[in-house]
Amino acid sequence: MEKSTIKLFYGTKEWILFLGFLLFILGLNLKHHYNNFLLFKHNELFQTTAVITNIYPKEAFMVVKLQSPNFDCYTSVALDEKLKQFDEVLITLVTSHVNFWEYLRGFYAPSLHLYYEKPLQNLKTQLATFVAQQHDHTLFQELYKALFFAIPISKELRDICANFGISHLIAISGFHLGVIAFVVYWLSYLPYSFFHTRYFAYRNKKYDILLLTALILLAYLIFTSMVASLLRAFVMFVLALFFLRNNIKLFSFETLLVTTLLILSFFPQYLFSVSLWFSIAGVFYIFMFLEYFKNLPKVGQFFLFNAWIYLAMNPITNFFFGTTSYLQLFSSVLTLVFTFFYPLIALLHLLEVGDLFDEYLLHMFRLPAYSSEVLTPWWFLCCYVLFSLLAIKKKAFFVLLNGMLIGFTLYIFYVNSTHY
């Protein structure tokens, strides 16, 4: 007999109380950000210490992305500036044209003075150096620093990932968190079992280990500077612990909505994070797959899962990033392979032989892409999102949704073929 679950909310009253609480939290956080904004705008010039998180070379200058204690921003500097990623700088920004919403989401501001102070030295940069030193090619230095530490990558590597349709694998999110949680859980299981049996056998061993795993994942989240997609995954992991404890259904669209609202109320700046919305959309279609393909044999689900998620995400990703390449047809296979590759390559880096696959990956990266840019029309995206939401309740809309995603995929590859 199937074990019944209870609901998170039983009526409108519970939802109103929950939303009221979130609005209160949102108001407090917006007030905090607005007070920082007023300090930033107090004078026309604002001086701060910041860390360079990425550099974008242009023809006549460089654009650098800066992370300061209260905001992220971009500014332009001369090409002759000898700056590197993770350098600490003292910079004076012009604040006159920055409004509050730009301040919240990350803005561009001209700068008058930029003084190099020192390279940033912390555990993250030391570990990133440890990983980078195992590779001769800069592409692989960037690749593994992104995979393990959520360090931004260059345009060259970003384009390669887009051509293969594996950008979602490079951006740390729920999959990576799941692998880390799995490893931490089983590494903790035997040591904890020893003490559990002798001293506190009355406790729920599995739940205690999951709580320990959650604490380690929280440390990793802070370590990676609260990457939006990783934050989404962590919040869902914590909610899953609460739901398991209280016998509430885990995989539901309601869970995803609660997660999204919690994140936006505590971190309103993530409203403008494309990576967060991609992560939410990915989980949305995973839940839809689990809902409508649950009666398929397990083998069929295993092989169909990555392919369907790739097709379902296509109209959304192509609205923002229109790169289309025949290599993307292998995206679902590469995603499946990555499931085993990720923990293996992490272990190889710990053993200081992280370059074992570099030669083979370099041949793969150098395959001709024959890519073109095919953007999703805004009206098609609106219809696609609407049908996706309606498909939560009506199977007929799910059938229409599948027709749309297949038709769109055929369209973008047809357009791509006409360029060659």
Judged against a pLDDT cut of 50, whether residue 412 lies above it is answered with yes
Total count of residues recorded for the chain: 420
Pinpoint the alpha helices (H) of 150-201: 155-164, 167-170, 174-199
If you average pLDDT over every residue of the chain, what do you get? 90
Sheet holding 72-78, edge to edge: 107-108, 72-78, 61-67, 45-57, 87-94, 111-119
Average the pLDDT over 88-98 and give the result: 93
- Return the DSSP state at 289: H
Mean pLDDT of 153-181: 87
Q: Tell me, what's the pLDDT at 3?
A: 53
Contact (CB, 8 A) for 105 and 271: yes
How far apart CA 52 and CA 181 sit, in angstroms, is 30
pLDDT tens profile 321-364? 888 998 998 998 998 899 889 989 999 999 999 999 999 999 99
Tokens in use for 157?
């590597």
- Residue 145 CA to residue 160 CA, distance in Å, equals 16
Per-residue confidence (pLDDT) for residue 416, from 0 to 100: 81
What are the distances in angstroms from CA 350 to CA 104, 211, 355?
Answer: 38, 25, 11
Q: What is the pLDDT of residue 2?
A: 44
Q: How confident is the model at residue 121 (pLDDT cuts 50, 70, 90)?
A: confident
pLDDT in tens, 239-297: 888 887 777 776 788 889 999 999 999 999 999 988 899 999 999 999 999 999 988 88
Question: How far from 78 is each of 89, 96, 180, CA to CA, in Å?
Answer: 14, 22, 41
pLDDT of 420 > 80? The answer is no
Report the distance separating Cα 307 and Cα 106, nearest Å. Answer: 34
Sign, CA dihedral 185-188-194-198, equals negative
Task: Enumerate domains of the chain plus CATH numbers.
Answer: 43-121 (2.40.50.140), 129-417 (no CATH)
Nearest to 408 by CA among 288, 315, 281: 315
Tens-place pLDDT, residues 228-239: 888 988 998 888
| Pairwise pLDDT comparison (131 vs 329), residue with the higher score | 131
The region of weakest confidence among 85-89, 137-141, 195-199 is 195-199
pTM of the predicted protein model: 0.89
Which residue do the tokens 């991609």 mark?
278
The helix (run of H) or strand (run of E) holding residue 49 is strand 45-57
State residue 1's pLDDT score. Answer: 39
Q: How far does Cα 151 stand from its chain's mean position? A: 12
* 293: nearest Cα among 306, 274, 281, 279: 306
pLDDT in tens, 365-382: 988 878 889 999 999 999
Q: From CA 406, how far away is CA 400, in angstroms rounded?
A: 10
Find all residues with CB under 8 Å of 64, minimum gap 6, and list them. 52, 54, 55, 56, 74, 75, 76, 77, 83
The confidence score (pLDDT) of residue 243 equals 83
